[in-house]
């Protein structure tokens, strides 16, 4: 099992332990799906997803006992998760057959053999199993040769109809791996979209797939392809969006420098550019605040850019910056290279602190104290007064404000 030698030691140790415990319990455990695909591609780190032909609960419990860890079970999926401190998570599933009673509905699940479990999967490259006991590969759908050919291929004609979320999975996986859709698969996908297959899936499930796409490094490409293929029409209707790819790329570049802003808000705003309304978010689970931020960045960017063009100094500019969401500021930076230096200065200003507190001002408490401190902060930051004079300046401002109140 040379393939496993390349993995990080923690994961090797986990797999070794699974092998031991499975042998003791006289069961076969298979590493299956994503991790086998990733090992064959020479990727360094994997999720440990196992399939067991008999009831997976026996092996799950035995593993947890050995590790002094715990088992969580998800009975409707016949799956178990074993966790233990400082040990990689292990997911176990009982091999299963699936039957789609109705397009787009979740399948009926029953216990099956390994082969049943492999041929019900989404793509051939995700349908390979590695027997951890004897090291044998099980590849009933020729996934290994598709890995060589670098293609994503579905396993039967109705695949995208049975489960249209595979449209998103195929696009996402191909972009992540730098693969293409096998020609007939691409045809089936187009046909499923044209036949409105996605209307059989809830909006919530489509949004979940969309968020997964936004989490990928290749998000700009994936979102552009999904949009061009018409896969987003069930959510947003038909929206023209000619410069989508460039917009998404610019956002992607800014996200690297601003990891704390909300990528879902920004990418959704770009998808809805120029034409967002609250009904577009049905099923997204967005809070009102996030929905408002999306509408703002989709619809208000031209107005904000215009206002910024008219601003003549930092004070005016900072007022505008303060009136919009952090995501809008990222978008402004993405759109306007000449605004970046001002934004940089604004962020410095926001973070700028004086070693001065309300008590230092020796005036009675009230709203004038915070106001005086803020005015002083601005004055020192902009260079109007030197830092040494901050305290005296703040005192004077506070007294003045207090007098104004009493007049």
Q: Interface with ligand ATP by CB under 6 A: which residues?
A: 33-34, 47, 49, 121-122, 126-127, 163, 165-166, 169
Instruction: Give the DSSP letter string of 74-87.
Output: EGGGTEEEEE-TTS
CB nearer to ligand ATP: pick between 127 and 197 = 127
Residue bearing tokens 């593993």: 63
Decide: is 216 part of the binding site for Mg ion (CB under 5 A): no
Whether the CB-CB separation of 104 and 206 falls below 8 Å is answered with no
CB nearer to ligand ATP: pick between 160 and 346 = 160
> 331-336: which pairs have CB atoms within 8 A and are 24 or more residues apart?
331/251, 331/254, 331/266, 331/269, 331/297, 331/301, 332/301, 332/304, 332/305, 332/308, 333/254, 334/247, 334/250, 334/251, 334/253, 334/254, 335/250, 335/301, 335/305, 336/305, 336/308
Q: How far is the CB of 166 from ligand ATP (least distance, A)?
A: 5
**Dihedral angle at the C-alpha atoms of 322, 326, 330, 336, nearest 10 degrees?**
-20
Q: How many CB atoms within 10 Å of residue 240?
A: 8
Q: How far is the CB of 47 from ligand ATP (least distance, A)?
A: 6
Binding-site residue total for Mg ion (CB under 5 A)? 2
Q: How far is the CB of 160 from Mg ion (least distance, A)?
A: 20
Sole binder of Mg ion in the list 34, 103, 112, 326 (CB under 5 A) = 34
Q: How far is the CB of 285 from ligand ATP (least distance, A)?
A: 19
CB nearer to ligand ATP: pick between 126 and 241 = 126
Decide: is 47 part of the binding site for Mg ion (CB under 5 A): yes
Contact region with Mg ion (CB under 5 A), list: 42-50, 120-128, 130-138, 233-241: 42-50
Query: Mapping DSSP to helix (H, G, I), strand (E, B) and coil, where does residue 73 land?
Result: strand
CB nearer to ligand ATP: pick between 203 and 345 = 203
Q: How far is the CB of 68 from ligand ATP (least distance, A)?
A: 27
CB nearer to ligand ATP: pick between 91 and 254 = 91
């Amino acid at each position: 099992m040379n393939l496993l030698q390349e993995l990080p030691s923690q994961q090797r140790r986990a797999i070794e332990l699974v092998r031991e415990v499975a042998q003791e319990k006289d069961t076969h455990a298979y590493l299956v799906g994503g991790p086998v695909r990733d090992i064959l591609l020479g990727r360094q780190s994997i999720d440990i997803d196992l399939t067991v032909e008999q009831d997976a609960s026996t092996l799950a419990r035995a593993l947890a006992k050995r590790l002094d860890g715990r088992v969580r079970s998800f009975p409707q999926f016949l799956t178990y998760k074993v966790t233990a401190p400082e040990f990689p998570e292990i997911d176990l599933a009982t091999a299963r057959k699936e039957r789609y009673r109705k397009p787009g509905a979740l399948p009926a699940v029953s216990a099956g053999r390994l082969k049943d479990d492999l041929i019900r999967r989404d793509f051939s490259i995700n349908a390979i199993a590695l027997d951890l006991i004897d090291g044998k590969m099980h590849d009933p759908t020729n996934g290994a040769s598709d890995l060589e050919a670098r293609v994503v291929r579905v396993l039967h004609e109705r695949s995208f109809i049975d489960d249209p979320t595979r449209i998103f999975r195929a696009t996402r996986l191909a972009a992540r791996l730098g693969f293409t859709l096998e020609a007939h698969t691409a045809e089936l996908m187009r046909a499923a979209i044209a036949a409105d297959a996605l209307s059989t899936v809830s909006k919530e499930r489509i949004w979940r797939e969309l968020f997964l796409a936004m989490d990928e490094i290749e998000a700009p490409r994936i979102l552009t392809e999904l949009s061009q293929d018409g896969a987003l029409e069930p959510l947003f209707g038909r929206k023209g969006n000619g410069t989508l790819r460039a917009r998404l790329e610019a956002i992607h570049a800014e996200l690297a420098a601003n990891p704390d802003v909300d990528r879902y808000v920004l990418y959704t705003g770009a998808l809805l550019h120029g034409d967002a309304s609250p009904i577009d978010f049905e099923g997204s689970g967005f809070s009102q605040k996030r929905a408002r931020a999306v509408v703002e960045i989709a619809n208000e960017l031209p107005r904000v850019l215009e206002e910024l063009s008219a601003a003549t100094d930092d004070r005016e500019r900072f007022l505008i910056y303060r009136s919009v969401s952090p995501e809008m500021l990222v978008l402004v930076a993405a759109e306007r290279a000449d605004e970046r230096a001002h934004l940089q200065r604004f962020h410095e200003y926001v973070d700028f602190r004086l070693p001065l507190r309300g008590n230092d001002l020796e005036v009675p408490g009230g709203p004038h104290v915070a106001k005086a401190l803020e005015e002083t902060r601005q004055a020192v930051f902009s260079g109007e007064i030197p830092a040494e004079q901050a305290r005296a300046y703040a005192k004077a401002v506070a007294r003045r404000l207090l007098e104004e109140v009493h007049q």
